[in-house]
Structure 1
């Protein structure tokens, strides 16, 4: 179901995809930085990003699509998907050139799930930030450099992450950190 759900403006989505086969999406630190720059170029104009986590073979985004205005006869889903297509294609093209590689880097489809429940939203934020721990890359989420977690714990630093929306669920940064580092059951969180 989540793969066929159409994107709609002004809704929150969990967006994620994996590398094709056993490939890696990110081999070195420069790859992560390059992808984040492409994310800023293609996705920030159409969405507020609440959270992200970049893993060696997949990534997760939590975002809300902006209202695209009163453009007549526009298919919102196609317009928003085109931005993701531009992001993934431009990254894959540069990646393939850098590593003298050919073929598809990402799976053929972008997985997505609309978020309509606040409880689910907060658990999803936890899930995304804890992805490196859950996959055994680090023991503590603060050790992973390629997620939005550090943006949340340093609110004085300017960020492209829209933190205010999610911070309303936590009274303080300390409460945020405590929740992010707690054990949370993902009982109704379905990731496919």
Structure 2
């Protein structure tokens, strides 16, 4: 069996990719209210700041920042995934198959350039997957907050060749 090692840095910033077990599902966007409630619940239990997020129908990407003394983010991820799964089971008691892939992609952000590459990747992801013609057309993204703050223009498309491994199948 493969042994996975995660990097734990107190106060670290992490890029995470979480994926549903069924890669053809649209549960995350179909159940966006439950997903938001699940995030709210997890954030109330495990303090961290979400710098950026983009929610696709069957996977999501996010950049999270941990508090200065905290280095253990898996409890936050587990709490959110568990809350979402339990909520779905309440809505549909026949739901008994796994909802999430058991593993998830994690990358500890190394520097500002790495942070910016991952931020761009997150915001560009719906466009990359052909879900929209403009990044601004996707409603389930923190891109809109960056536009509202004047950090990014509404017509931003980002760089096509963002460097890095983002935990997604090509």
TM norm. shorter chain > 0.5: yes
**What is the rounded CA distance, in whole Å, between the counterparts of 1:178 and 1:33 in structure 2?**
25
Name stretches of at least 5 consecutive residues in structure 2 with no aligned partner. Answer: none
1:136 maps to which of 119, 130, 150:
130
Say what the alpha-carbon RMSD is for the aligned residues: 2.2
In 1: Cα distance, 2:155 partner to 2:109 partner: 20
Map 1:11-50 → 2, pairs under 5 A: 11-24=12-25, 25-26=27-28, 28=30, 31-43=31-43, 45-50=46-51
Aligned length: 161
Contact 1:23 1:105 in 2 (8 A): no
Unaligned runs of 5+ in 1: 70-75, 156-172
TM-score w.r.t. structure 1 length? 0.75
Partner of 1:164 in structure 2? none
Q: Using the alignment, how far apart are the partners of 1:36 and 1:65 within structure 2?
A: 19
- Structure 1 residue 179 displacement after superposition: 8.9
How big is the shift at 1:16? 1.1
What's the TM-score once normalised by structure 2's chain length?
Answer: 0.83
Moved more, 35-44 or 101-110: 35-44
